[in-house]
Structure 1
Amino acid sequence: MKQVNFKGVNLPAIGIGTWHMGDNLKTYAQEKATILYGLNHGATVIDTAEMYGEGNAETLVGDVLQEFDRQKVFLISKFYPQNATKERMKQALNNSLKRLKTDYLDLYLLHWRGSVPLSETVAGVIDLQKEGKIRHWGVSNFDTADLEELYGLPQGDQVFANEDLYNLANRGIEYDLLPWQRSRQLPLIAYAPIDQGDSRGQKLTQNSVVQKIADVHQVTPMQILLAWTIQSEDVMAIPQTSSIEHMKQNIEAGEIILSDSEMQQIDLQFPGPDSKQPLQMI
């Protein structure tokens, strides 16, 4: 699978999202098998959060990690904004680590901004780093102004990644946020990289150009959408699926290289932003 370079760390361009997973006992075994399939086939980044099912997704991932070499997994979790103080962050992390059945995270993200000053949050994650409980720290759902504020703080520029909504139907961050991050070598993790909702009244997968390009590559339109998201060298996508077949397709999408002509054809159908857009979140 295509690799991305995250501040000197080589990672697969396609990881595994876990939102809405771990909540249903009837599908638990299938979800566990799907994540294991992904890990065994190169999708060795798992993204979860204490918010997902109020810990259920982390518990699922913890069970998965009992059957795979923990050291080969790049494990990401996130903490609530209300847990962004030093003391609450430490407790939140300990709770997450207990559910995940591990003693460290590779990346710990502030899930979105709240009322806790960023300076306190940065000081807290750096303390956790010094304790060896997290290897890296980062943020999620941050816009350009948020990152500018972060970089203005002592050690704020040590942020490892920003995780935002990004897909063909939601390209707003291309106007200013992505260029800002690229100028500082700050990688992007794209959540919801396959948008199945309507875009200007037409589903992305039903677009004739997307379908035509998919036919040329002998893949599904969904795989083209995912491949589009990771065409840059500094964007990782974390699609979520509970299906082994879809997991297989996600991983295969990590091998698809779209030509300049194909990217231009897609751009004509779904143009990028020509002005600043409000940061989209789901």
Structure 2
Amino acid sequence: MNNQVTTLYNGVSMPWLGIGVFKVEEGDELVHAVKFAIKHGYRSIDTAAIYGNEEGVGQALHESMLETGLAREELFVTSKVWNADLGYESTLKAYETSLQKLGLDYLDLYLIHWPVEGKYEEAWRALETLYKQGKVKAIGVSNFQIHHLEQLMKHAEIKPMVNQVEFHPRLTQKELLAYCQSQDIQLEAWSPLMQGELLNNTELLEIAQRYNKSIAQIIIRWDLQSGVITIPKSTKEHRIVENFNVFDFELSAEDMTRINQLNQNKRVGPDPDNFDF
């Protein structure tokens, strides 16, 4: 495994590890968190229209590029179209709005945020258009289960490159991971630390102590060794640094199995088959 990046099936490089900004409000805390992340080696930033913070993310990206000399091409920026905008024309419009707020000329990855029945097929057609026009480097989905992916691919010209889902040791999504790997769709984890619920787990603590790492680092490393991209969220600089410091060790096969066995099919977010937004 390349330490830093993987290659999506269309040849685009995507970092294994990024920073998520879910529930981080516009303002200094957001701008500082994204700038800390870039300063400490992160190159992937994940936001969404519904997060309401694309302008702050854009500000942080531009300030970071000015201060560090990084080129736009060295960053990987993801956003997502919200449920209310799913439709062909409305998705195209939502994309332009996100791009404007971020102050960018293109996105690296654009995702359909949730599989709203009867709506995501038209939205996907819009993503295919954006991709063909070169306005986005890669397109994908979020929170799609196997049957959603199968339904989408009945009509799709272009297969999703990424599926971003809730994924952590209490929700290992074994069948979905295997399916995505068989289809060459890259799985990506949101809420990898289960919104902090796993940070007091005694079994994970015991594993962490043996590697002289934190529980968060053990979970992130488990993601990477499972072949899953991950985007832990933090606004604290020491945590942002800690979360990135996972490329200097490897979990044993035995410990990977132990972590897999923590699965309870337990979600902290909505069930994609039973949600109402």
TM-score, with structure 2 as normaliser: 0.86
Contact map agreement 1:168 1:225 (CA 8 A) in 2: yes
Aligned match of 2:235 in 226, 230, 242? 242
- In 1, the alpha carbon distance for the partners of 2:120 and 2:158 equals 9
Contact map agreement 2:43 2:74 (CA 8 A) in 1: yes
Offset at 1:162?
0.5
Matches within 5 A, 1:178-257: 178-196=177-195, 204-233=198-227, 235-257=228-250
- In 2, the alpha carbon distance for the partners of 1:22 and 1:11 equals 26
The SS at the match of 2:131 is: helix
Is 1:63 aligned with 2:59?
A: yes
Cα RMSD after superposing both structures: 2.2
The SS at the match of 1:46 is: strand
- In 2, the alpha carbon distance for the partners of 1:251 and 1:241 equals 11
Offset at 1:5?
2.8
- In 2, the alpha carbon distance for the partners of 1:122 and 1:20 equals 26
Hey, what does 1:17 align to over in structure 2? 20
Hey, what does 1:201 align to over in structure 2? none
> Judging changes above 3 Å, is the alpha-carbon distance between structure 1 residues 280 and 245 closer, same or farther for their aligned structure 2 residues?
farther
Offset at 1:272?
6.9
Structure 2: runs of 5+ lacking an equivalent: 66-70, 266-270
> Judging changes above 3 Å, is the alpha-carbon distance between structure 1 residues 187 and 216 closer, same or farther for their aligned structure 2 residues?
same
The SS at the match of 2:33 is: helix
Hey, what does 2:38 align to over in structure 1? 39
Contact map agreement 2:80 2:111 (CA 8 A) in 1: yes
Contact map agreement 2:145 2:176 (CA 8 A) in 1: yes
The SS at the match of 2:161 is: coil
> Judging changes above 3 Å, is the alpha-carbon distance between structure 1 residues 281 and 35 closer, same or farther for their aligned structure 2 residues?
farther
Contact map agreement 2:47 2:80 (CA 8 A) in 1: yes
**Which one-letter code corresponds to 1:261 in the other structure?**
E
**Which one-letter code corresponds to 2:62 in the other structure?**
Q
Structure 1: runs of 5+ lacking an equivalent: 199-203
- In 2, the alpha carbon distance for the partners of 1:44 and 1:51 equals 22
Hey, what does 1:262 align to over in structure 2? 255
Is 1:153 aligned with 2:155?
A: yes
Aligned match of 2:130 in 116, 128, 136? 128
Hey, what does 2:112 align to over in structure 1? 110
More relative contact order, 1 or 2 (CA 8 Å, 6+ apart): 1
Hey, what does 2:68 align to over in structure 1? none
**Which one-letter code corresponds to 1:61 in the other structure?**
V
- In 2, the alpha carbon distance for the partners of 1:187 and 1:94 equals 25
Offset at 1:212?
2.0
Hey, what does 1:167 align to over in structure 2? 168
**Which one-letter code corresponds to 1:11 in the other structure?**
M
Offset at 1:196?
4.4
- In 2, the alpha carbon distance for the partners of 1:256 and 1:60 equals 34
- In 2, the alpha carbon distance for the partners of 1:135 and 1:11 equals 10
Contact map agreement 1:82 1:116 (CA 8 A) in 2: no
- In 1, the alpha carbon distance for the partners of 2:264 and 2:5 equals 25
The SS at the match of 1:189 is: strand
Identity %: 29
Offset at 1:271?
4.3
- In 2, the alpha carbon distance for the partners of 1:52 and 1:169 equals 25
Q: Deviations over 1:150-195 (max 9, x none)?
A: 12114142x1111100001112x21x21111111111011000111
Offset at 1:224?
1.1
- In 2, the alpha carbon distance for the partners of 1:168 and 1:193 equals 8
* Aligned residue-pair number: 261
